Structure formats: structure tokens, C-alpha cells
Chain A
Amino acid sequence: MHHGKYRFVLSLLLIPLGLYAVFVVSPYVQAFPIAFTDWEGLSADYHYIGFGNFVTLFHDSVFWVALRHNLFLLVSLPVIIVTLSLFFSAMLNYRGGVPGAKFYKVVYFFPSVLSIAVVGVLWQFIFEPRNGLLNGFLRAIGLDGLAQLWLGDGKTALGSIMAVVVWGGVGFYVVLFTAAMAAIPRELYEAALLDGAGAFQSFWRLTLPLIWNTVQVALAFQVIGALDLFALVKILSVGPGGPDDATQVISLYMYTNAFTYGKFGYASAIGVTLFAINMILTLLTFRLTRRERVEY
């Protein structure tokens, strides 16, 4: 009996796993040997150059600028997004759900339904300095002085892109956190209420510890997301990656090296480095956010 069941499960898994291995795992693995070559990506002619690409990378000032931006995003984006989402979901769940909570959840979730390319193009129009929504709004309420070049100015470009990431990301985590919060038994809140805990206290002492697993997963997603950001930067920024590298990120720099400069070996080396950073940071995130699991 059991034997037959496993065979059935195995045969179901075989095709998706096979596809995954061929189209996902194998190209990833191939990037490693390519990272040690001088391959330019158009011919069958390449040489192994040892750690040459990595040495160059270490001395590449643009790479360091990109890494600095990624690290900055890595620290700031998860904090902003998780804080905002926690706030919104706590509000929605307040006393068992505010009126219209379902409607708000849908509205918050709306950006997550849009493809990232659509989000990028949409915000391109919002940031447009002459007739864009943002400057138009600022001028309409008399704040002409606050109207900016946004994406065109090195001082505001990265912040503008961050705003889009936050706008697009918060809704997903609101839904995630609200679901987790809804799973907390009501009696616990009633008990806390009887013990004299206010809304603020019951959030910190009760809600947050009980949904910590979900927050942890959210943070890990954010860390990985903050290291990518390729699509938004590519679509929105000047250059792209500009002005003058003001929005340069590692994934875009990798792409530019591969497809604009024709340096596939070097781009793979960037990819391998990014992979290493990603692994380390993800493990760190799980380790740093580890807490005793609360059973309820």
C-alpha cells in the first residue's frame, strides 16, 4: 500500500522537479564556472582567468556604490515596510476589526496585483516633473517650493524609488499580518483586557510575540527583495541607475555588464558575489530574529 503511494507522489513530483532543475538550478550553477572566465557572451571563445573577475570587482568603485545603496535599502526598507504594515493591520484588527476592514484590505493589496513593470510605468507618470501627479498636487496646494525633479535629481532619486517599493510592498504584508492576527484566539485579548492591558500594551505583549514567525518571514522576504530591486530601478531611474549612479544597485550593474558592456564573465562574478551576500544575510536575519516559539 504505502509503497504504491510513494511511487504515486514521486511520479507527480518528478516533472516539476525536473523542469526546476533544468530551467532554474542548472543555469544558477552554470553561473559559477562562467564567473571565472573572460567570456563576452557572443562567441564560443573564452578563457579561465581564475579569480581575475573578483579582483577587478573588488576595485570597481561602481560596485561599491551599488553595494552601499543595497545595504542602505536593506536596513531601511524592511523597517519602514514592516512597521507600516504592522500599524495598518493592527488598526484593521483593532477590537476585532474596524468597519470597512475588508474594503481597506483589498485597497492595500491592490498594488500587489499589478505587475512590477506596470507599477514602474505608472510611477514614471506620477514623478514626471512638469505634468506629473506629484508635482501637480504640490503646486495645487500651494507648496510649489517642494516640487522636485524627483528621479532626475541625485538627492531625491533613490528616495523616490524607495517610496514606490513601500507603496507596492505594504499591502501584501498587511494581508499577511492581518491573517496571522486573526488566528490569535480572542480569549487571550479578553484576558489581557481583564488584566488591565491597554491597546498599546496588548499589541506589544500579545499580538507581536504571537505573530513573530510571520514577521520573521516578512523580514527575510524584505532582505532578499532589497538586494534585488532590478525592475523598478531599470524602468524608473535616469540612465538607468542614475543620475550619475545615484540609484545604482548590484542587480542592475550585473545586467549592464552582461548586456550593455558584453562582459558575461564579470557579470556572473557579480551574480555569484550577490548570491553569497544574499545567503549570508538571509541566514543572519533568521538567526537575529529567532525567538522562542509561542504555542497557543
Chain B
Amino acid sequence: MSTAGKVDRRTLLRVALAAPAVAALASCAKPVADKSAPAASTGASVDGSKPLEFFNFDGGYGKEWTTMPLDLYRKEFPQADVKLTSGQQLQQQLQPRFIQGNPPDLIENVGLDGATLASKKQVMDIGALLEMDAYDEPGKKVKDTLLPGVAEAGRYDGVKYEMPYVFGVGGIWYSKPLMDKHGWTYPKHWDEMLALCEEIKKTGIAPWTYQGKFPGYLTNPMLMTAYKAAGPDLKKKVDNLEPNAWRDPALIQAAEGYQELAAKGYLLEGSQALSHTQSQTYWAQGKAVFIPCGGWLENELGAIAPKDLGMTMVPVPGWSKDDKAPFETVTGGPGGALIVPAKAKNPQGGLELLRIILSKQCMKNFTEVTKSLTVVQGAADGVELSSANKSMQDVITAAGTNMFADWSFRLWYKKLLDNSDKAMAALMNREVTPDEWSKQMQKYADETAKDPSIKKFHV
């Protein structure tokens, strides 16, 4: 999911680390080499007497949802000592355990670099799970209960290492009542967007705001506008780190378009320095009309959102009527990553718990508790959905096959992702021109391409 990197970074900030970095380094003892990478098998049975540990990321979705699957596991294996551990600093909490060789049996991973774990064979190939019987749907295999694309997601070089559990999309949010009140309609192309911004500005409301402290929130929309103008080839070139991919005219023109938001005063004043909570709060208070964000926005706003906000998500505008990809294209799909460490003491138990989590009852419970959609078909049936979730369902339906997880470089190359955020900040602060931005991004991409210590993937 496109959110993984951000959730990680924000939670780091929320907890406001005070320890000096040297102390953090102190926690790492030098490892002893030991190579093994087992794969799960359908045949192996669970040893019910072994203890089981599930490490939950106590962030956006909390830990309340874990109670049901853990209880079901306890019911199935009454002798097992089932333990839930929770945390937000996975890197710091789990890194020593990975190195010592006693990681938990199942991890809700937000924070550990999935690409590194996969390339170092620290996680188990869980492809066999897809062929197992579904937990509470007799006659069906796990893979038959999942939404399209879920079985294919979470693979590195074709091997299934990660199991997504939520299903979300990213886009632009607005308040429907606010738009209706002024008779505004959401534009499909960027020039119309700028025209609407001019009109909005006259009413004294700011047209846009974004999470300036984490500029990456705006990078995705800008890339999507470029994507719609240039078509899928652009993404392929950028993701494969091809020479001059970032010099593409579609990217430069999108950068020009988004910089206009800052240049013409269409941003809520101070946006560049606002944290995600601050900007989102102002947006919910109606101080700005549009904000980019993922599907977790409603849950994150919580009680801040007025009852009549009528949160609505829509795809990012395209560039013009000559666009090569449809306006409905969105980033999204299966998200989140449940992983079974290769060196876990009870990997079969971890896999069994994963099978339980993917059951219809547990995923329905997940949607009820977290207000988020999941990867299992029909799991939201009978759950009353909010306007935000309904609009996301509409976006997903309209997108059809025009949906992909994210620009892959953002998932594969953390340093390039980080650098793209830096460049975005410079662009929106108008410290660089769109052309300079594209040159800088090309330089960053070339650095990544040349760095032998970074494992490369291809689309």
C-alpha cells in the first residue's frame, strides 16, 4: 500500500524520539551468519503445544481487531501459549530479534523494509497459504476468497512474502456539502482545476492544503497527474530507473501545474509547514477545499470531523483531454503486510493465525472496528459504511483495472522515495523551477541506479 512509508514516518514523529542516534545504534549486536529460507507447505501441520507470538503494529488500525483471531486460535489450540505484543517502532523493537534469530511468528509490518527482508530471505515464502482451505468458507481455498489482485500483491521477484489485509485507495478529498453549497464540480483536468481554484479563492476559502511537513503526500498526486497525461510507459521508465525518465515533459508540466498552486496563492497559508494532523484538521474545519490523502483519513480525523462533513474521495485530476490514461486511474488496492519470519520458532502457527485473520468473520470484525475495507470478498456485507468508505468503493469500482499499488520506486527504493519528498518540498517552496526539479530527480534516480548496495527490482 502506498501508505506504508508514511505511516512509518509519522508514527516515528508521533512518539517523538528523544534518544540520541548513537544509543539507537548501540542496540545492534553484530550478527552471526546463518542462511536458511524455508517455504511454508500445505502439508505441515500445526504443533498446537508450541507458543505463538503475534506482533501487532499499534498504529492506524490499533489492536482491538486482533482479539477475535487470537481467541479463535486459542480455541483451536487450547494448550498453546498465545501472546500478543504491540508497538509502533518496529525497526527498533524487532531488529535485534531478527538478528538473534527469535522473531515473532507473525508480524503486522509497518516500518521494516520489506524489500530488504525479502532479498535477505528473512521472511517465509507464504505462497502455500493461498492453496489452503479457507477458515470459515467450506469448499473454498484461501485464494478464492480474496479480492482480485490480492494474491499477486506482496511479491518480490515473483515470490509471495507479504499478505495484505486492507484494501484502500489514495486520492483527493473534499467535503460534498461544501462543494454543493457553492455549486462547484470536481474538475477532471488540471487547467479546470486551476480555474476552479481561482473561483474558490474569491470566496475566501483556500482551494488546497497538504501535509507540508511530509511533502510526500503531494508527490503521489503530482505523479498521478503526469501518469494520466503520459500513460503507463512513463511509470515503467521511472520505476526501472531508466536514464532521463524524470526528464519526461509530462513530469515537468505536472510539476509546473502543482507549483502554480503555491505561486498563485491557492494553498492554505502556511501549508508548507503544517503537519499531517494540523493540515487535516484545517481541512475538516472547512478552511481548505481539497487535500490529498489515503483511505485512513476518516479514521485519523476521528472526532475532529464534523458530523455533516460528507467526506468524499475522488481521483487526482488528469492533465488535459489528450490524456493517455483515464481520469479514473488511481493508486490503491491491497495494502498492509502480514509476514511470517523465516526464523520464527513457530512459523506453521503464524501461518495458521494468518489463515484465521483472513477468515470472513475476522475481516468483517476488522471493518467494523477500524472502519476500513479489507481484502476478503464480501467481508463488508452488512456493515454500515460511512460516506467516505462509500466514495472509496465508488472510486474502486470506477477504476476497474486502472488501479495499481503505487509507483514501484516508492516501494522499492526508500532513499529515492525520501529524496523525491525533499525535491517536492523544494518545488512547493518555489526554491527550484519545475525543470530544475526534474533534473534533481533524475540525479537522485541515477544515484540509486548506480548504487551497488541497493537491490534492484523491475516491472
Residues of chain A touching chain B, judged by Cβ–Cβ distance below 8 Å, are 23-24, 27-28, 30-31, 33-34, 38-46, 115-117, 120-121, 124, 127-130, 135, 149-154, 228, 230-231, 234-235, 238-240, 242-245, 251-252, 254-256, 258-264, 266-268, 271
Contact = CB atoms under 8 A, between A and B. Distances in A.
Most buried by B among A31, A116, A228, A238: A238
A284 B326 CA distance: 64
B233 to A, nearest CB: 28
A240 B20 contact: no
A27 B421 CA distance: 33
Given A43-B98, A44-B32, A150-B273, A258 B418 contact: no
Contact of A260 (B24, B30, B271, B414): B414
A30 B24 CA distance: 13
A149 B31 contact: no
A260 B418 contact: yes
B272 A238 contact: yes
Contact of B21 (A28, A238, A252, A262): A252
B21 A255 contact: yes
Top 3 nearest A-B pairs (CB, nearest first) are A152-B273, A129-B270, A27-B26
Most buried by B among A44, A127, A245: A44
Given A239-B422, A243-B431, 6 more contacts: A40-B116, A43-B99, A127-B273, A154-B426, A228-B20, A239-B215
A30 B273 CA distance: 39
Most buried by A among B27, B29, B272, B282: B272
B98 A262 contact: no
Interface stretch (B117-125, B235-243, B367-375): B117-125
B422 A242 contact: yes
B20 A230 contact: yes
A116 B270 contact: no
A252 B422 CA distance: 15
B245 to A, nearest CB: 21
B294 to A, nearest CB: 19
A70 to B, nearest CB: 13
A154 B274 CA distance: 14
A64 B339 CA distance: 38
B168 to A, nearest CB: 23
Nearest to A243: B425
Interface string B92-132: 10010011010000000000110011001110000000000
B272 A243 contact: yes
Nearest to A52: B453
B270 A42 contact: no
A59 B121 CA distance: 31
Contacts of B26: 23-24, 27-28
A256 B18 CA distance: 15
Q: Is the interface of B mostly helix, strand, loop or mixed?
A: loop
A156 B275 CA distance: 17
Interface of B: 9, 13, 16-22, 24-35, 91-92, 95, 98-99, 101, 112-113, 116-117, 120-122, 212-215, 268-275, 278, 282, 414-415, 418, 421-423, 425-426, 429, 431, 453
A127 B272 CA distance: 12
B30 A30 contact: yes
Given A42-B98, A121-B16, A271-B22, A239 B425 contact: yes
7 contacts: A27-B26, A41-B28, A42-B112, A46-B31, A116-B18, A117-B18, A124-B275
Nearest to A150: B273
Nearest to B30: A30
Contact of A41 (B95, B271, B423): B95
A43 B117 CA distance: 8
B129 to A, nearest CB: 23
A44 B13 CA distance: 29
B5 to A, nearest CB: 9
Most buried by A among B21, B98, B121, B271: B21
A130 B270 contact: yes
A259 B17 CA distance: 13
A95 to B, nearest CB: 41
Contacts of B9: 260
Contacts of A30: 28-30
A222 to B, nearest CB: 16
A27 B429 contact: no
A262 B414 contact: yes
A107 B275 CA distance: 30
B51 to A, nearest CB: 23
A238 B101 CA distance: 36
Given A27-B25, A128-B270, A239-B421, A43 B212 contact: no
A130 B21 contact: no
Nearest to B92: A259
B453 A263 contact: yes
